[in-house]
């Protein structure tokens, strides 16, 4: 129900002659409702200019936020010794938890990132070949030190989790196919490779020691 100013004046003139408590309450209520409705309209319904400015500010904030996210991911790509991109959407919650824990224990960072962010980050990092992998849900494993760790952990896990799909990746700045990642996973990890290197370096020393020991033993036998 809407009251015009003329209605209020007529109601006011009548009540001034014979005011009652009920009429006073009615006048107050009508005046209050008129004021509140007008206040709500002016306060909560902005002008088209204000609406445009608000939309512009929100758009700029969203663009700035995305640019920040792209810069962060691009830096991760540049710093990574190896990157493995996977589709993990079919994993159960328990499987996803175990995979993340295994990667974390191997010093690998694992994140689910929007393809639009990944594509722009790959361009910024100079890894344009990666863009073809960012189709469908994408999760990325970054390793800054151990080149083999992401491939090894993910390939081993995929043997028992068929839903985990390896898309490809990057090793030392070069694009790497699924086949190459699986081959890389068959190599020993960082600790294993160091152990093998140590064995190779120690082999000549052991050979010399064995030769010296053999000569000493032969001299002892001759003296006897």
Q: What is the pLDDT of residue 188?
A: 73
pLDDT in tens, 96-128: 999 999 999 999 999 999 999 999 999 999 999
Give the pLDDT score at 58: 76
Q: What is the pLDDT of residue 60?
A: 75
Instruction: Name the band, by pLDDT with cuts 50, 70 and 90, for residue 8.
Output: very low
- Averaged pLDDT for residues 154-173: 93
Q: Does pLDDT of 196 surpass 50? A: no
Taking all residues of the chain, what is their mean pLDDT, rounded to a whole number?
77
Strand ranges in 21-143 using DSSP code E only, listed in sequence order: 82-87, 109-112, 139-143
Cα gap 70→132, rounded to integer Å: 17
**Distance separating the N- and C-terminal Cα atoms of the chain:** 129
User: Would you state the CATH architecture of domain 57-190?
Assistant: 2-Layer Sandwich (3.30)
- Residue-level pLDDT at 3: 46
**pLDDT of res. 37:** 56
How high is the pLDDT of residue 178?
93
CA dist 19 and 28 (Å) reads 13
Answer whether 81's CB lies under 8 Å from 172's CB.
yes
What ranges do the domains of the chain cover?
A: 57-190
Alpha-carbon span 149 to 156, nearest angstrom: 11
pLDDT number for residue 101: 96
- Spatial CB neighbours of 126, under 8 Å, sequence gap ≥ 6: 78
Q: Is 107 left (phi over 0), alpha (psi -120 to 50) or beta?
A: left
DSSP string, 199-221: HHHHHHHHHHHHHHHHHHHHHHH
**pLDDT tens digits, one per residue of 41-85:** 444 555 676 667 667 777 777 888 889 999 999 999 999 999 999
> In the predicted model, what is the mean pLDDT of residues 204-216?
50
What mean pLDDT comes out for the span 175-188?
A: 89
* pTM of the predicted protein model: 0.62
């Amino acid at each position: 129900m809407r009251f015009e100013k003329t209605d209020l004046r007529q109601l006011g003139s009548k009540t001034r002659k014979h005011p009652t408590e009920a009429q006073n309450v009615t006048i107050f209520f009508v005046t209050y409702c008129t004021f509140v409705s007008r206040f709500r309209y002016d306060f909560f319904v902005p002008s088209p200019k204000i609406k445009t400015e608000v939309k512009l500010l929100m758009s700029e904030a969203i663009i700035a936020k995305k640019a920040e996210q792209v810069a962060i991911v691009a830096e991760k790509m540049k710093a990574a010794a190896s990157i493995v991109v996977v589709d993990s959407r079919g994993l159960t919650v328990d499987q996803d938890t175990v995979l993340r824990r295994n990667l974390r224990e191997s010093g690998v960072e694992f994140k689910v990132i929007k393809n639009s962010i990944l594509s722009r980050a790959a361009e910024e990092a100079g890894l344009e070949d990666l863009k073809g992998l960012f189709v469908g849900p994408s999760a990325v494993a970054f390793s800054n030190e151990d080149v083999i760790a992401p491939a090894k952990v993910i390939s081993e896990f995929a043997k028992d989790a068929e839903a985990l799909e390896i898309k490809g990746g990057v090793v030392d700045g070069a694009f790497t196919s699924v086949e190459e990642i699986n081959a890389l996973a068959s190599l020993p990890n960082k600790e294993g490779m160091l152990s093998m290197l140590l064995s190779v370096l120690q082999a000549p020393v052991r050979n010399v020691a064995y030769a010296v020991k053999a000569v000493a033993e032969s001299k002892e036998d001759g003296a006897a």
